[in-house]
Amino acid sequence: MDSKRIGIMGGTFDPIHFGHLVIANEVLDQYHMEKIIFIPAGNPPHKKDSKASSIDRYIMTNLATLSNDKFEVSNIELIKKEKSYTINTLLVLREIYKDAEIYFITGADAIIELPNWYEFKSIIKLCKFIAVTRPDYNTHEIKEKIQSIIDIYQGQIELLKVPMLQISSTEIRNRIKNNRTAKYLLPEVVEQYIVKNNLYGDNNE
């Protein structure tokens, strides 16, 4: 029998949007995965990488994934005081899902950065990667980049074509800051949460 496949979707999710959800769902479907685990990145107080707090990003990710019983959200990286590294997260997941194949999902922009990830050499032994297409990133160049990473590190990185949505969290934050609409770029409930809690406004820089 084939072993179970688990997808890992890492990100800041500041905020989560339809670009994230569509790629997670596409991977779930095309790879016949058991589930996709969304893992919002931690936000150590001394090095603030995100605009919204960890708890707000965690809540928004839960709201956005609520209606899909194959989407899960993990707080494993958020609860850490220190910076959390993917390698540590993967080691924990490997313990929990001993026999599963773990696939880490990344957008084309993130693939370029992979070799700079802390302990990447070990990471690529613990999981496989699925690189999904993203608007503004040339698929041919991404293919070459993937090949060059495989040549050096071995391991498995597959390119997956997904419906491309030109949406980014940065764009959504800018729109909200400038009182422009972000409707239909992210789930309505997440947009409502942002408005209700006054996230990404002028005072939140």
As measured in angstroms, the least distance from the Cβ of 168 to ligand ATP is: 4
Integer-rounded Cα radius of gyration of the chain: 17
As measured in angstroms, the least distance from the Cβ of 2 to ligand ATP is: 26
As measured in angstroms, the least distance from the Cβ of 173 to ligand ATP is: 7
Instruction: List the alpha helices (DSSP H) in the chain.
Output: 18-30, 54-65, 86-96, 108-113, 120-126, 139-153, 169-177, 188-196
As measured in angstroms, the least distance from the Cβ of 99 to ligand ATP is: 26
Residue nearest to ligand ATP (CB): 107
Toward ligand ATP, which CB reaches closer, 5 or 20?
Answer: 20
Tell me the HSE value of 88 on the side-chain side, using a 13 A CA sphere.
10
Phi, psi of 104, deg, nearest 5:
-95, 125
CB 199 within 8 A of CB 15: yes
| 167: helix, strand or coil | coil
Contacts to ligand ATP by CB under 6 A = 11-14, 19-20, 23, 106-107, 109-110, 132, 134, 165, 167-170
Toward ligand ATP, which CB reaches closer, 87 or 95?
Answer: 87
Toward ligand ATP, which CB reaches closer, 68 or 168?
Answer: 168
Toward ligand ATP, which CB reaches closer, 5 or 19?
Answer: 19
